[in-house]
Structure 1
Amino acid sequence: MKTISIRLLLTLCLAAGALGLHAQDTTASYWTRHKAETWVHKGEWRKGLTGVNPHASVNPVDFALQYHRNPVLWDKVFAWIRTNDLQAIAPGKYPIDGDNAWAIVTQGPTKAMDTVKWESHRQYIDVHYVISGKERIGVASLDNATVTEPFTDKSDNAHYTVEGTFYTAEPGIFFLFFPHDVHRPGIIADGSPTDKKLVIKIRVSP
């Protein structure tokens, strides 16, 4: 009887410890930049996904925090990328998890920079992945941006003026844009006037 009680106590302690660790994982104070970078590099979030990597501009703390607040949803997103032939998939909108996550595939001309606005979202995180071709994407902090068109719930959009950094988006690298990431995607890149692109919308976990 005493042996059983000790085993039961140890089991309960281990379970409580595991629950406590998970609770820590969902708090912003838990994720230092070093801890988050280590987690991203280890790739536990991949669940078998290969051949694509987060761009250097992706905030590892935001990535780790949002993933651990809803790992089931993020696993569905990465599973969708892993199990679909992106080269063959037709342009269109594809369900992943109701209004929590969905994919949009586009194919066509990229745009002149002066026709593309800086934007950010509050309700959804953006995954941007160029399947073929390439484009330029601007990235900036919301802290430095001036609002030109206020946020609306209906569009989940606001527009800005801001000075940002521009990167070339090509196959093999995905961008993640969180609510404080202002971005300016879909801009024509030298030598590639068209591209095929995947955008996935993922609901923000509070």
Structure 2
Amino acid sequence: MEDKPMNVKKDPTLPAGEGMGQAWFTRREWEQGWDAIPDEGIDQAEFFRSYSRHPGRWTNAFTFLARPDLASLAPGRYELEEEDALFASFSEYVTKNEEDALYEAHRKYADIQYLVEGEEKIGVVPLSATTPVGPFDEEKDIIFLRADGDHFRVAAPGRFFIFFPGDAHCPGVKCGENMMVRKIVIKVRLT
């Protein structure tokens, strides 16, 4: 699909566009047949703006997530568009203790995170509420951070998260006992 901006009558970056974005989000015009539930913490206005700029890219991401064989994919990287515009990483890992976890944030990509198997906690805070623990790594598009307080949400099959550059997130934290999880992270380039 060619990635042309959506034809919208009003600038989605203006306050009036936020209402349009919320209605668009609620109608699930983005889902491509994928029936997972979006976490209520997703920035709907930012999602609408990003989708409006790159509808083909987001459509390809959700089409991939709607695959009937999603749970049976092998761990690894899946190129969904050329030039690193869109790719998926499927991983298996054991959840970690909260004290061993760091928040992270990105500048060039949004993350769609979805657990195919298992359960974990994901911390979510505004980037402005964090303290860096090192410099931003331009090549890997990541900075690691710390945040005070309990800002965790439960991630499990059937619920997904989207994190934009203003969202610091701390994935992979155990819920109760450490467990093996299987997870897909789709990286959507925002430029």
TM-score (norm 1): 0.83
* Structure 1 counterpart of 2:86, one-letter code: A
1:181 equivalent in alignment to 2:164: no
Residue type of the partner of 1:83? R
| TM-score normalized by the length of structure 2 | 0.89
Give the 3 Å change call, closer, same or farther, for CA 21–76 of structure 1 in structure 2: closer
- Partner of residue 190 from structure 1, selected from 163, 167, 176: 176
1:41 aligns with 26
* Distance in structure 1 (CA, Å) of the matches to 2:68 and 2:141: 27
> Equivalent residue for 1:89?
73
> Structure 1 residue 167: deviation in Å?
0.6
Which one of the candidate residues 114, 133, 136 is aligned to 2:118?
133
- What is the DSSP-based 3-state SS (H/G/I as helix, E as strand, rest coil) of the residue aligned with 1:198? strand
- 1:148 Cα offset (Å): 1.9
Larger of the two Rg values belongs to structure: 1
Partner of 2:106: 121
Contact 1:31 1:64 in 2 (8 A): no
The answer as to whether partners of 1:133 and 1:192 remain within 8 angstroms in 2 is: no
Instruction: Give the C-alpha shift of residue 186 in structure 1.
Output: 0.5
Q: Secondary structure at the match of 1:156?
A: coil
Structure-2 change in CA distance of 1:20 and 1:176 (3 Å):
closer
CA distance in 2, matches of 1:191, 1:34: 41
Aligned to 1:158: 143
Q: Are the aligned partners of 1:93 and 1:102 in contact in 2 as well (CA < 8 Å)?
A: yes
1:142 is matched with 127
CA distance in 2, matches of 1:161, 1:142: 10
Unaligned residue ranges in structure 1 (runs of 5+): 1-18
Which protein has the bigger helix share? 1
Task: Give the equivalent residue in structure 2 for 1:199.
Answer: 185
Within 2, Cα distance between the matches of 1:156 and 1:21?
A: 30
Which sits farther off after the overlay, 111-120 or 189-198? 189-198
Query: Residue 49 of structure 1: CA displacement?
Result: 2.2
Aligned residues: 185
How many angstroms apart in 1 are the aligned matches of 2:80 and 2:6? 30
Alpha-carbon distance, 1:23 to partner: 6.4
Counterpart for residue 10 of structure 1? none
After TM superposition, the structure 1 stretch with the greater mean CA deviation from structure 2, 188-197 or 61-70, is: 188-197
Q: What CA distance in whole angstroms lies between the structure 1 residues aligned with 2:20 and 2:146?
A: 33
Question: Superposition pairs for residues 68-83 of structure 1, below 5 Å?
Answer: 68-83=52-67
Does the CA-based 8 Å contact 1:124-1:203 persist in structure 2?
A: yes
In structure 2, C-alpha distance between the alignment counterparts of 1:135 and 1:170, rounded to whole Å: 7
- Report the counterpart of residue 15 of structure 1 in structure 2: none
Q: Which moved more, 1:142-151 or 1:89-98?
A: 142-151
Paired-residue identity, % = 30
